[in-house]
Amino acid sequence: DAKLWIVDRILEPQSIPHFIEATMFGVLSDGSKSSFPPLSEEVVMLMQQPLASWAPPPFDASQEIPVQQMMVRIGSHEDSARLVPISKEIHAMKSRLWEGIMPLSERRWDELKLDSPENFHTACQYIAGVTNAFHYLNLPPIKGALRETYNLIWAHLKDFEDAVNAKNRLEIKPEVQIAARWHEYIKAHYNAVSSRSHRWVVDSIDRLRVPILEELANLPTTADITPSPQEWLLTNKLHDLLENGAQADSGIFLPMDGYEGEGLAEQDDAPPRPDAAEPYRREPISFSANANARKGDYYLRLKYLSRTEVWLGQERGGMDMPAGLPTGFDVLSDMAKTAQCQVIAQEKARLELRGEPVPMEQEQWVMKAHQYIGTGNNFEWGYVAYRLSHDHTDEEWEAFKAKFEADIANWGRELSGVDTIREKSKIHWRDARDLGIADGDIDALRTQFQTFRDSEGFPLGVHTDILLAADKGVIDSYLHPVPQQDGFVIAIDADHDPNEVDTERLAESPGYKGVVRVLGSLLWDDLGALVFMQTQGLAELWPLAMHHPQGVYEG
């Protein structure tokens, strides 16, 4: 299939509303408390009004609206200098990682059988996909454009801050800091996104590596010094995992050199260190904001530590090895010992470069959902769903509903603190035929839903922008499942206008008709999380589904 190209706004557009929310709540995107007090509602409202309408001289000469200025800088027709075309695959991964949403839930990993040896390379593709998103963000022109976007927004916020403080001085009110909040927010966000993504990659590598090491350890020893085909297979897999780990360790960062407020000059053109040409790094390494220097340091340090670990292992004779090694390590072949020594060496190099991993108890979207629920606002999470086919008996329909609801209830077992969200994960069923809608008529259903959502009878706590429907294909996917296809449901964009021609949308989501079929297993912690965090909607997910025989989004 021809590659689909997407125009990337390198700093994700939803970052601006999320930043404003953080200033109001006083809580950063990683869940930590801001060092600044919450920004008053008055100041937040001023951010959305022209300076000329409220600011004292000389700021009143400007008709600019600060929020609009910031959104323009992220990428628009007015400022397109930092818009970049990238492949849909990288864009989709980068967009979800930006909000701390990992590529696969634990359930989806199991459904894809990624722990099975025959699916090893597929698992590695998911792992590499995460790292590649960060490789993209660290390419010098991309890193520079991201920095410039941040700095332009910082400058707009500083101008706004100066105007607010001029007003406050006249009104004998305390001054406020606003630009510094932007720095604090982005720094915490970058750290959280990088740490969570790296943790997912490392955990995924570890789960794949343990059974391979055990199998290698249990292979019968022979007098033949030539590795057997199975030994080659296993050691090649271990090498792949080691390399995936190395790429992640050295690549999954979002450095802030050259960012206003950071106090670290740009490192893109930093001269190489004096020992750059040495074949090893004998001394412990540390973080560098320069991607090439960081990668060079890491690989040369890993090479050195791998050699010394093997030598130490030989001296120890396999005794007194760290806990967690396969049983019987002391009598393993040299091949298995070497593999384990490389793992130990990589853990040491990782610790030197990245420091101790920061524990993260909740996903970013889960924390934000709790924050939103706590405000008492209408948390749109559940769905209104319609029966859009009557080819089955009412008994079969009830059986479908039971299977569907049991399927979608199985989510988030690796997530903590989601019980409150589970309580709101409800489906409100309606029969389209009772509303005068013919089976399969999605356009009429959409029109009816638009009327329904504006009525007093519309339930609280459900999406107003997406509705669900079950046609014959959906019902059969649960009543008569086949091995190649898990159960799915139709998700409908409530505001899609089939008569509106959007050339940009056509190019980036060709063939999109406001409808995407979505696996039931992805309804809450994938689709729901992406939509809630404002990072991807149905139009953005359609390109990932359009080549599926039935147009099903599978993650």
The whole-angstrom separation of Cα 250 and Cα 238 is: 18
Asked whether the whole model's pTM tops 0.75, one would answer yes
| H/E element, 174 | none
Q: What is the mean pLDDT of the chain?
A: 91
Q: Beta strands 83-87 and 5-9: pairing type?
A: antiparallel
What pLDDT was estimated at residue 502? 77
| Residue 266 belongs to some domain of the structure | no
What pLDDT was estimated at residue 275? 75
Sign of the dihedral defined by the CA atoms of residues 524, 528, 533, 539, in that order:
positive
From the list 482, 475, 489, the residue with the least C-alpha distance to 392 is: 475
User: Number of folded domains in the chain?
Assistant: 2
| Residue 226 belongs to some domain of the structure | no
Q: pLDDT band at 35, cuts 50/70/90?
A: very high
What pLDDT was estimated at residue 147? 98
Q: What is the largest CA-CA distance in the chain?
A: 89
| Residue 86 belongs to some domain of the structure | yes
The first and second tokens of residue 370, run together, are 């709790």
What pLDDT was estimated at residue 326? 43
**Helices (H) and strands (E) in the chain — how many of each?**
19, 8
End of a domain among 171, 198, 225? 198
Say if residue 38's pLDDT is above 90: yes
Per-residue pLDDT reduced to its tens digit, 242-280:
999 999 999 999 999 999 999 999 999 888 777 777 878
The first and second tokens of residue 308, run together, are 């010394």
The whole-angstrom separation of Cα 534 and Cα 95 is: 10
Bridge partners (DSSP) listed for residue 431:
387
From the list 193, 192, 68, the residue with the least C-alpha distance to 137 is: 193
Q: pLDDT band at 1, cuts 50/70/90?
A: low
Q: pLDDT band at 328, cuts 50/70/90?
A: very low
| Residue 392 belongs to some domain of the structure | yes
What pLDDT was estimated at residue 362? 86
What pLDDT was estimated at residue 378? 79
Sign of the dihedral defined by the CA atoms of residues 248, 249, 252, 257, in that order:
negative
From the list 528, 180, 518, 492, the residue with the least C-alpha distance to 372 is: 528
| Residue 206 belongs to some domain of the structure | no
| H/E element, 199 | helix 179-218
What pLDDT was estimated at residue 513? 93
| Residue 333 belongs to some domain of the structure | no
Give how far the C-alpha of residue 10 lies from the chain's centroid of Cα atoms, to the nearest Å. 14
What pLDDT was estimated at residue 335? 80
What pLDDT was estimated at residue 78? 86
Per-residue pLDDT reduced to its tens digit, 293-305:
999 999 999 999 9
**Range(s) of the domain holding residue 115:** 5-198
Say if residue 393's pLDDT is above 50: yes
- Ordered alpha helix ranges (H), 139-178: 140-170
| 543-547 long-range contacts, CB within 8 A, separation 24+ | 543/4, 543/88, 543/92, 543/508, 543/509, 543/510, 544/88, 544/92, 545/516, 545/517, 545/518, 546/510, 546/511, 546/512, 547/1
523: DSSP letter: I
Query: Exposure string (b/e) for 497-514, b if CB count within 10 Å is 16 or more?
Result: eeeeeeeeeeebbeebeb
Q: Any idea which residue has 């190649």 for tokens?
A: 484
| Residue 516 belongs to some domain of the structure | yes
Per-residue pLDDT reduced to its tens digit, 495-544:
999 888 777 778 889 999 999 999 999 999 999 999 999 999 999 999 99
Per-residue pLDDT reduced to its tens digit, 367-381:
999 888 887 777 899
3-state SS assignment for residue 449: helix
What pLDDT was estimated at residue 321? 47
Per-residue pLDDT reduced to its tens digit, 397-448:
999 999 999 999 999 999 999 999 999 999 999 999 999 999 999 999 999 9
Q: pLDDT band at 3, cuts 50/70/90?
A: confident
Say if residue 127's pLDDT is above 80: yes
Give how far the C-alpha of residue 450 lies from the chain's centroid of Cα atoms, to the nearest Å. 31
Q: pLDDT band at 351, cuts 50/70/90?
A: very high
Q: Beta strands 515-519 and 552-553: pairing type?
A: parallel
Is 438 buried (19+), middle (13-18) or exposed (0-12) by CB count in 10 A?
Answer: exposed
End of a domain among 198, 231, 246? 198
- Radius of gyration, alpha carbons of the chain: 27
Say if residue 325's pLDDT is above 60: no
Per-residue pLDDT reduced to its tens digit, 235-249:
999 999 999 999 999
Per-residue pLDDT reduced to its tens digit, 214-232:
999 888 877 667 778 898 9
3-state SS assignment for residue 496: coil
End of a domain among 138, 173, 198? 198
Percent of the chain beyond pLDDT 90?
Answer: 79
Say if residue 123's pLDDT is above 70: yes
Say if residue 315's pLDDT is above 70: no
Rounded mean pLDDT, 187-202: 97
Say if residue 203's pLDDT is above 80: yes
Say if residue 331's pLDDT is above 60: no
Per-residue pLDDT reduced to its tens digit, 59-95:
999 999 999 999 999 988 888 889 999 999 999 999 9
Bridge partners (DSSP) listed for residue 384:
428
Q: pLDDT band at 329, cuts 50/70/90?
A: very low
